[in-house]
Structure 1
Amino acid sequence: MKRLLLLLLYIIILNDQVKSAVISDNGDVDEQGLYSKSDHVIILTRKNFDRRVYGQKHSLLVEFYNSYCGHCRAFAPKFKSFAADIVSWKNVIQLAVIDCSVDENNEICRQFEIMAYPSFRYLHENYVKGNANVGERFESTDSAEKLKSQLIVKLQSEQSMGRLAFAPPLGIASYATYASALSDVPNDVIYTFLVFENANSTIGSELALDISSYKKVTVKRVFDNCELANIAGVTHFPGLVAVRATLEPTPLTPKLPTKLNLLKAINTFLRSKNYAFPVSDIDIKDNNLYSNSEEKLKLSNSDVVYYSDLEKTLKTIFHTEITRHKTLKAEELQALLNFLDILLVAFPFKGNLKSYTEDLAKTLRTKSEWGGSEVYDLVKRLENTHAPVYSTDLDYIGCKGSQSKYRGYTCGLWTLFHTLTVNAANKPGVQGPKVLTAMHGYVKYFFGCTECAEHFQAMATRNRLFNVKENDKAILWLWISHNEVNLRLAGDLTEDPEHPKIQYPSTLKCPECRLSRGAWNLPAVYEYLQRVYGADNIQDGQRIARSSASAVSPFSDLDIGMLSLLYLLSFTILILVVKFFISKRFHRKRHYKHGWAKN
């Protein structure tokens, strides 16, 4: 009996542990795409978007990005640095991110009319959901400092219009005396730091936001050409003067008055006055997004095309890329139809994917204009009609990066295009140039990396894509262009360190592709491309993908079977124990009843 009770207690504890491990289904995630929670950004998803965006007491700056966009990948470290830099502004403004390459987020990105990545939208406090409420567009920039300046100017403007009443004062004014400068400062403020600068400077506002969590301390911006500047004796700008509530001034302007030096001067002054700084509730750590101990699938032969890579790329195209337009018509719709047509000609279909693609192309031709949500619903409906559409495990194998932020879809897209040019050349007629034309239209209107698409279009013009008229030249045109991109991106932040961008094929993979002095042997290159991307040489990859999954899974099939058996056994024992206690209690009740009767 004692053992049964201990077993029951163990089952209850185990059950509580299982419950505590379940993640609440509120849409909040610790990591998605290029960002994790440790990056000091709010990770938005379809499930938490409304809850985390609308009706907030603070403003939001949201980055809409695409995790396979090279520009987004290059900008992500800068945005993370920016987020860490303005952690102290969190009561006024917070940064959020949403990955538009994630299938379930696609509708939100479409509603906000996101047509370029990354895109930034400012949403003021107490923002209300509505069809026309898509935030205020920020200029796309490759610099975190420029983005910060843009944001500060916006916050200044917002406050001048009556919003951000809870934020520190960000406006600038002229004063004749210290008394007039401190006339509207709350009575509990001990120190006011006057920043003398011109109207276009953002340093004073940035300092005000930086120390907004400091108690009984405030910052005020003062015109550098006003009378008080002369009284304070400020000659270097931006200038800094600390003023006690008793109007006693202390000049603090450093020799090099940068924002960091001004902030250092403020903190040094406060420290000398034994000021009690607020305890930060943010623990900034050097967290890696990805565990180095995670096992990665290593392939000895990188020059292999896997069908799983092609299918996963197509699924991303159908679910994410072609549905991101709010409306699809005219040139965009025709570009999509051209792309679907060339897929039907040259893609090495398996299973139901071909009939699905045929049905998709046929249905899209029934209307001259489609809404993005309509296209998405059509894609999902036809997937159900033709299920199963995909025959593989839908994970990248040949295109798998050393970390999830590398390679993946962009590698898959190049692989798809090479596969189409090679297999189109093996069809009757001259289909290869049609692949290049369809590919150009797809990249122009649908590829999620805007900067990459612009580079490709410029390269297509420079390399005379539309002048290609023969199948073999189409294959070689794409190969030359791919190597040109590799040359441009070699050493870039987006490059996977375990998969460096080389001029391919390497001499190791194709020694006959190079002549004695290093020049390309084009006939050998052509044969190499036919060999790698030809339909008959594409590997299934399902067995390899499953082996990889088994390698990283904490449980084997046997483990799962044993756990299921243990759970069933535990449940059975629990039922028996409960039944035992109920019957025993019932038996005791009957015994006591007869005993009282005898008395």
Structure 2
Amino acid sequence: MHQLTSTELKSIISPPSLESLISTILFVCLLFPFTTEAGLYTASDQVVVLTPDNVDSVLVNSTAALVVEFYASWCGHCIAFSPVWKSLASDIKEWKPAVDLAAIDCANQDNGPVCSRFGVRGYPTLKVLQLLHSTSFMDFQGLRHKIIDKMETHAEPWPPACPPLETTRAELKTNSVGHLALLFETSNSYVGRELTLDLLQYENIAVRRVLSTEDGLVAELNVTHFPSCYLYYPSGIFTRQLEVRTFYTYALQRLPGVVRAGKPLPVTSDLAKNTTEDQLRPFNRSRVYMSDLESTLHYSLRVELAAHPVIKGEALSTLQRYISVLAKYFPGRPVVNNLLKSVDMWLKGEKDTELSYSSLRDALDNTVPNAALPEGVRWVGCQGSKPHFRRYPCGMWTLFHVLTVQAEEAADPQEVLQAMRSYIHSFFGCRACATHFENMAQESMSHVGTLSSAVLWLWSHHNHVNNRLAGALSEDPHFPKIQWPSPELCPSCHGVKNGEHTWNQAELLTFLRSHFSSEHLLSDYLEEEAHSNPRADKVQICRSAPEQAVNPLFLGRH
């Protein structure tokens, strides 16, 4: 594809008619990871927000494909379509840098010249797709397939950033990559092309499409079902049959040696040594550890809150709600629960409009007999392969998952969620994280009306964050951010409908209630019960090995 100038871009876009607006494909690239927020989309939606300041740098000198939505934030149909556009952006996140989605709010007067420049007169208009009529919108599966169609029928040379999507016709004699996946499918299937784009960012894996009409390869591998995916090795063949794109993608991305481009291969010896003060602890990835929960409490109450010498106003109310929820629902050891209840009663009795952190620290460290909070952290299920991975953010997510499950007999279904929201807003040290979470909360937390939906809301939005951060510098290569729970961990949580992956909400709720239940918590790596005088002899987290553990290379969630 040749380099496009601004003049050439304007010339290939013809103004659409009122009766039928057929958009022209735009092959463009993302030169910068813009995070501007405007109109119907925010920085957490994985949609590039176009403005007069960035439009030229995004659209000129392209090497890949960008699909742009031109919309008006006052338009009811645009509002109705925005969840589809967000879902599509999340769904094809792995297609970068070959394909990315953008949007521009034409209702913003500053953006008016840009929308006029591209001949937009009705909303929403998608450049690369035809105008979506006001009474019928394509679902994101249809949009996804349309993008692939446009890429394949583009008249100019193949975009440099896009992988080959053609089918394989020759017999396979050699395999020069770590893993070669053969996707056998019918001619009208999109699974092979979608899978190729899903794995675009990964090394040591290649996908080749093979049509069902290729009798030689079909006979050689004895393929009887379509689609079917075969891992082709000189020493043998592995097959996963009758599965949808999501299952294939999940399985292939997690093959040994398959990593994101530019990321180092996980090395077992590095895990054993670990650059932290301790070796990586063996743990069971299918369980939750009390050590992680107590470590989270220690860091939250003794480290994070200590950054606020004086707590007053809304922040003080937030602290009171946070401690109250912990006192009610934390499924801890008696010594820890006694401490939380003691601090809760003390806070409720305080009449001052502001609180010094030093007085809170005194309450945490010396309250009543048989009440103490362990000092220090000992991460187990939330440990990372390096000191800067996982740990406290993982622990905070886990803590609130546990609390939402423990609160399933509460009077207010939003009690835990709102406590979490206000704590993150007022105190969570990662301010960008706090902004992203607040954006999610503003969109839909108010719709939570039952205790079960509170559990599912936190689960779905945690997965939303995992999707957004997959591949980021903060992702631990030993614990990739996945859509959790995995098919291996909860097979019944996953289903297929109309060829697309679906979540079985009833099975998922059952799984979450069990996984985060107090009965399911492991006490490995914890010391014996607390001493009677917590100030003189504080509770510590011990270094004992767990009774049952599994290979630490098993994938984690956070």
Q: Pick the TM interval, shorter chain.
A: 0.3 to 0.5
The TM-score, its normalising length taken from structure 1, stands at: 0.40
Higher helix share: 1
